[in-house]
Amino acid sequence: MAAELHVALVAADREVWSGQATLVVARTTSGDIGVMPGHQPLLGVLESGPVTIRTSEGGTVIAAVHGGFISFADDKLSLLAEIAELSDEIDVQRAERALERAKSEEDASAERRAEVRLRAATTR
Amino acid sequence: MGAQLRVYKRRIKSVTATKKITKAMEMIAASRVVKAQRKVAASTPYATELTRAVTAVGTGSNTKHPLTTEAETATRSAVLLLTSDRGLAGAFNSNAIKAAEQLTARLEAEGKEVDTYIVGRRGLAHYNFRERKVSESWSGFTDEPTYADAKKVAVPLIEAIEKETADGGVDELHIVYTEFVSMMTQTAVDSRLLPLRLEEVAEESHTKGEILPLYDFEPSAEDVLDALLPRYVESRIYNALLQSAASKHAATRRAMKSATDNAGDLITSLSRLANAARQAEITQEISEIVGGSAALADATAGSDR
């Protein structure tokens, strides 16, 4: 059996996803970071961006994460986010509308959130 | 129907109506407790992970941060009091307010000025009525608080703690809320959120004794701590809001249950009284008839002679 890491993606009010994975790619404030089993203990600040989890079954889980932390130790990885959505939970039309609205209101943070959401939804 | 009987009947009817209302409120509160409890449970993974991370940074690095270092002499404290928007919850709000007042008195005895922040209309009304100063207050979400609400509450508190004490900032942050122990027990508790006591945090997350790994910080320990601590405060406030909401619903359920029971007792004793009144009326009518006919019989017997 290949080495695996246990991933828990938790939002403030619920556990979004948890399971075994072989690779997790997330965006920290200093750039994208990939974590594989046996990685050095790590604690990082996440930027809002998509998180890619390659599960042990060979599938891929993509989630949009807005702000939070990544912490890894003993092959246990936790992704803490205030808001986290799995790509198949995202309503593409709503996200598009939100993006347009954010653009017209020139709300940079909302625009970024909507963009991340859309990207996560379309790359699934 | 006699006047007395009519009064009893009317009271029975009104008590029955009240009983129906309190019964309904009891059931609503019961279903809400379960929902609120579920929300508390759902928020636990995030809180546990966050606490773990805070402990890891706090103990694993020698960084000094305003949110973790205690001021030499604390002169101002902020107290956040969580109450509910609506009453009919027994002693729920007065217990929380009492706990806050005890804490305030204790802090003042230590020579600290106290800024009060309040969540919930009940607590605010209590302070306004006594014309006490309230720094800021929020209401309208105490029944079903969301994470966004917790964030809203946390913002000015974090701002206050980051400001220098001389410019109106505070050195400490305390929170008073009602802990949900079980369906039957809810206790008003106060705890100090900031500055952090790392030993306490470690104890809470049951990580005491466990050796935490040496973390790599990305981008740096200071930045991680900067980002982590406000989230930690938010998540603690969120948890307190949820527990307070669950406690409020449990308190309402209990209060409404005893109201329903009391209404039932009242109806029983009132119907007994009404029955006695009806019986007395009948007895009186019979004795009137008997007396009347006897008098009539005496009169006719007299005229015969």
The answer to whether B195 and B69 have CB atoms below 8 angstroms apart is yes
A73–B224 C-beta distance less than 8 A: no
Same domain? A72 vs A60: yes
Cβ contacts from A onto B, under 8 A: 87
Confidence of residue B301 (pLDDT cuts 50, 70, 90): confident
Same domain? A106 vs A57: no
* pLDDT (0 to 100) of residue B175: 92
* pLDDT (0 to 100) of residue B117: 92
Which residue, among A90, A86, A64, A68, has the nearest Cα to A77 in the 3D structure? A68
Same domain? A63 vs A10: yes
Q: How many domains does chain A have?
A: 2
Which residue, among B226, B234, B246, has the nearest Cα to B193 in the 3D structure? B234
Which residue, among B83, B99, B64, has the nearest Cα to B195 in the 3D structure? B64
Distance from the Cα of B60 to chain A's closest Cα (Å) equals 11
B49–A12 C-beta distance less than 8 A: no
A40 contacts on B by Cβ (under 8 Å): 216
Same domain? A54 vs A18: yes
Average pLDDT over residues B48-58: 79
* pLDDT (0 to 100) of residue B53: 79
Same domain? A53 vs A113: no
B42–A42 C-beta distance less than 8 A: no
Same domain? A19 vs A72: yes
Q: Between the ranges A18-22, A84-88, B282-286, where is the mean pLDDT highest?
A: B282-286
Q: Output the CATH code of domain B35-257.
A: 3.40.1380.10
Same domain? A52 vs A111: no
What tokens were used for B66?
Answer: 């305003």
More confident residue, B129 or A2: B129
A41–B53 C-beta distance less than 8 A: no
For the ranges A85-94, B32-41, B101-110, B280-289, the lowest mean pLDDT is seen at: A85-94
Span B18-44, pLDDT tens digits: 999 999 999 999 999 999 999 888 888
Confidence of residue B106 (pLDDT cuts 50, 70, 90): very high
Same domain? A18 vs A56: yes
Instruction: Say whether pLDDT at A48 is over 90.
Output: no
A78 contacts on B by Cβ (under 8 Å): 49, 52-53
Q: Which of B46, B224, B225 to mutate to test the interface with A (most CBs of A within 10 A)?
A: B46
Whole-complex ipTM: 0.75
CA torsion B118→B122→B128→B134, rounded to 10°?
0
Domain boundaries, chain B: 3-25+258-294, 35-257
B45–A10 C-beta distance less than 8 A: yes
* pLDDT (0 to 100) of residue B284: 93
B231 contacts on A by Cβ (under 8 Å): 68-69, 80, 82
Q: Which fold has domain B3-25+258-294?
A: Helix Hairpins (1.10.287)
* pLDDT (0 to 100) of residue B127: 92
Instruction: Say whether pLDDT at A1 is over 50.
Output: no
B42–A13 C-beta distance less than 8 A: yes
For the ranges A102-111, B114-123, B269-278, the lowest mean pLDDT is seen at: A102-111
Same domain? A71 vs A105: no
Give residue A81's domain range.
5-87
Q: Which residue among B214, B223, B238 sits closest to A12, beta carbon to beta carbon?
A: B238
Same domain? A32 vs A81: yes
Instruction: Say whether pLDDT at B94 is over 50.
Output: yes
Cβ-in-10-Å burial (0-12, 13-18, 19+) of B113 comes to middle
B146–A10 C-beta distance less than 8 A: no
* pLDDT (0 to 100) of residue B205: 56
Q: Which residue among A28, A30, A80 sits closest to B49, beta carbon to beta carbon?
A: A80
What is the average pLDDT score of chain B? 86
Distance from the Cα of A72 to chain B's closest Cα (Å) equals 8
Domain of A66, CATH number, reads: 2.60.15.10
Same domain? A95 vs A38: no
Which residue, among B212, B229, B281, B224, has the nearest Cα to B60 in the 3D structure? B212
Instruction: Say whether pLDDT at A117 is over 80.
Output: no
Same domain? A51 vs A76: yes
* pLDDT (0 to 100) of residue B66: 64
